[in-house]
Structure 1
Amino acid sequence: MSEEPDNVIHILCDEDHRHLLPSALMGFELHLLDPQKPIPADTMFLMVDVDLKNPDMLSRLRAFRKVSQRGSDLVIAIGKNDLQDELQATALGAKKPIVKPISEKSVATYIEQRRTAAGMTGKTATAAAEIGAKAIKDSFDEFKNDTAIDVDKISEAGRNIAASIADLGISEWLSTVRIYHQSTFQHILLVTGIACAFAQNTGMSKADIAKLTQAGLLHDVGKVSIPDAILDKPGKLTAEEFEIVKRHPVDGFNKLFAQGNIDASILHGVKHHHEYLDGSGYPDGLTADQIPDLTRILTICDIMGALLEERSYKPRFSVAKSIEILKEMGKEGKLERALVLALETVMKKPGSTRSNLTKLANPSS
């Protein structure tokens, strides 16, 4: 019997949750097991989200534990405050259980925990995300205080993000941001990472990579002017509230333009990242010939970031579903289809990290 590579996490879950999980995450392959078949004995990392009251499923899990290798890791998702599930998970030899359902975020959290236990915390995107979040917060504070936004700090944050994504890939970036950041900061960091990965993987110059990454970090700075009650509203916005939201690109542009030290292409992206090729966007209803490439790319990445977020009024879409939506917008003439297809290739590219999971299973080895 051939052994699995050491960068594989096996996941056993119900059909309803399978679509929430990618095939690769943070440099690791995720293999979804057939719930009707025995669990492979050479599985070193197993995450489970099934009905623990199902006798057949329990039999499969018990059979696996009898033949599983030394050092193998079992994580079981249980219902919140479900004592029976918790006792069953403990009896199966699982470590501290997680709450249902298994998701990309819970798998990423597990990987982070294993890395920390193995002393491998340096090989994550966490530090770059923290630097990015600090730069965003500072720019928001500077906007509120009517002081100049520190462009050097934005540039430094962009360089850190670019280095992290070049080393670890977009999958790790998205997962890290979703674990540690919420609301507007999460959105900006997701969009920035997607834009940076697009630039790096489509042969753009270093200068353009820097511009697109900085545009990502600055594109929503005008949201400082939006009241929190509107920005964080859980339901659909009223027409009046949406008009207030629609002011943020112009507010951000005006602030940055007044500084006199921001590249013109970044300023255009900040002001026009909600424009569509068919003229149906805002604030100026620009059409295709008026929208340069950097802004077109930022628009697509902004939509992608929003689709990949979980918000109180909508679920988080998978990468595949998000790409489908972008493709449909391309057919409608709103987005450049060639750029959407290029983004699809970028988003499906596996991470470059290949940390040794055997070491993660045995931190002392």
Structure 2
Amino acid sequence: MLPSALMGFGVRLLDPQKPIPGSTMILLVDVDLRNPEMVARLREFRKVSQRGSDQIFAIGKNDLQDELQATALGARKTITKPITEKVLAKHIEERRVALGMTGQTAITAAQAGAQAIQDSFDETKDDTPVNIDKISEAGKNIAASIADLGISEWLSTVRVYHQSTFQHILLVTGIACAFAQNTGMSNSDIAKLTQAGLLHDIGKVWIPEEILDKPGKLTADEFAIVKRHPMDGYNKLSSQGNIDPLILHGVRHHHEYLNGSGYPDGLSAPEIPDLTRILTICDIMGALLEDRSYKPPFSIEKSISILMKMADDGKVERALVRALAHVMTQHWTPAEQPKNSGALKA
């Protein structure tokens, strides 16, 4: 799954049956190089491409014939298949440096957010108060980044640069923030929902890594340990006395379902406020979109369909899922048109 935007570049999956747009600055090619029609299209692109554009060919491992063909077609370099989000990010980053691009990306906000999460985990381990001002500042930076660059840029950046628990927390935070911004929530509620995203899994600091990162199904005992994290996080944060009650509710109850089948307290719809309901669906969406060593990310469409099934089962609110679907499937529309990159696959 490729993003629609990454680090200031628009990303498109190109139709191999159509001419390649001459405006493409980075062309990642994963096609049959023994197909005469495809070779002809690549040759035509060389005639119309902009000066300084790059062609990077994905070929099979140790495929000398494709290596020679790619070189003949103007490849700047070849890489081993497949083309992934991380591969795309690597070459876009190289391109940004070569072009002297200094425009804003989501990297700085994501790194600051990751540092704030790390600090909060360290403070929790050391039994010292979590610095809520630092969490608040990280939330403001994330909100500004998403408002400027869009949710697609945020998701792609986080999946490229962060792994495991931090990736999940940053994905959930970004999705929750984008939901709040795009559904007309107040600045105060945007801040609360973003901070709740950054803090919602702080209780995982006490879960062993071998359980958190286990590729297979958890045993009953392992799942019992995982299920403690909402209450553990709530107990830690509520003892500080300086965190908004709605944020605390989200931390404790983001695994509750409207039909009472969630945990830790088995709450039902009347007991679950909107902020927690929103955080819950964003938490599920973040988990589905995660890129882990043992699990590729689901598509947004597949993730939405899973959430809709959960709405059918009475677990989450259908209207909120529909609103989230609208937020997640919007086209990326930055103030300034990004440069183009494309992936040609067949």
Shared fold (TM-score greater than 0.5)? Answer: yes
Structure 1 residue aligned with 2:169: 188
Q: 1:88 aligns with which of 69, 87, 92?
A: 69
Q: 1:352 aligns with which of 328, 334, 346?
A: 334
1:52, 1:88 within 8 Å by CA — same for their partners in 2? yes
Q: After superposition, what is the alpha-carbon deviation per residue over 1:180-230, rounded to whole angstroms, capped at 9, x for unaligned?
A: 111111110110011111111111111111100000000001001101111
Alignment of 1:69-148 (within 5 A): 69-148=50-129
Gap change, CA 1:67 and 1:170, over 3 Å in 2: closer
Q: After superposition, what is the alpha-carbon deviation per residue over 1:311-331, rounded to whole angstroms, capped at 9, x for unaligned?
A: 233321111111111111111
Structure 1: any 5+ residue segments left out of the alignment?
1-19, 361-365
Q: 2:271 aligns with which of 242, 266, 290?
A: 290
2: CA distance between counterparts of 1:284 and 1:81?
Answer: 56
Q: 1:248 aligns with which of 225, 229, 232?
A: 229
Q: Secondary structure at the match of 1:274?
A: coil
2: CA distance between counterparts of 1:226 and 1:295?
Answer: 23
2: CA distance between counterparts of 1:127 and 1:25?
Answer: 13
Structure 2 residue aligned with 1:229: 210
TM-score (norm 1): 0.86
Structure 2: any 5+ residue segments left out of the alignment?
342-346
TM-score (norm 2): 0.91
Structure 1 residue aligned with 2:344: none
Alignment: residue pair count = 340
Query: Are positions 1:162 and 2:133 aligned together?
Result: no
2: CA distance between counterparts of 1:228 and 1:356?
Answer: 39
2: CA distance between counterparts of 1:183 and 1:356?
Answer: 30
Query: Are positions 1:198 and 2:179 aligned together?
Result: yes
Q: Secondary structure at the match of 1:190?
A: helix
Q: After superposition, what is the alpha-carbon deviation per residue over 1:279-298, rounded to whole angstroms, capped at 9, x for unaligned?
A: 11111111111100000000
Of the structure 1 ranges 189-198 and 34-43, higher mean CA displacement relative to structure 2 is found in: 34-43
Gap change, CA 1:259 and 1:82, over 3 Å in 2: farther
1:26, 1:351 within 8 Å by CA — same for their partners in 2? no
1:25, 1:351 within 8 Å by CA — same for their partners in 2? no
Shift of 1:35: 2.1
Gap change, CA 1:43 and 1:260, over 3 Å in 2: closer
1:223, 1:248 within 8 Å by CA — same for their partners in 2? yes
Of the structure 1 ranges 207-216 and 61-70, higher mean CA displacement relative to structure 2 is found in: 61-70
Of the structure 1 ranges 59-68 and 320-329, higher mean CA displacement relative to structure 2 is found in: 59-68
Q: After superposition, what is the alpha-carbon deviation per residue over 1:77-114, rounded to whole angstroms, capped at 9, x for unaligned?
A: 22345454334322221223344222344334433332
Gap change, CA 1:282 and 1:178, over 3 Å in 2: same
Q: 1:215 aligns with which of 196, 200, 204?
A: 196
1:28, 1:353 within 8 Å by CA — same for their partners in 2? no
1: CA distance between counterparts of 2:257 and 2:280?
Answer: 8
Q: Secondary structure at the match of 1:149?
A: coil
Q: CA RMSD in A?
A: 2.2
The higher relative CO (CA closer than 8 Å, separation ≥ 6) is in 2
Equivalent pairs: percent with the same residue?
74
Give, as a single letter, the amino acid of the residue that structure 1 aligns with 2:45. Answer: F
Q: 1:310 aligns with which of 291, 312, 315?
A: 291
Q: After superposition, what is the alpha-carbon deviation per residue over 1:307-348, rounded to whole angstroms, capped at 9, x for unaligned?
A: 111223332111111111111111111111111111111112
Shift of 1:171: 0.8
Q: After superposition, what is the alpha-carbon deviation per residue over 1:261-294, rounded to whole angstroms, capped at 9, x for unaligned?
A: 1110000000110111111111111111110000
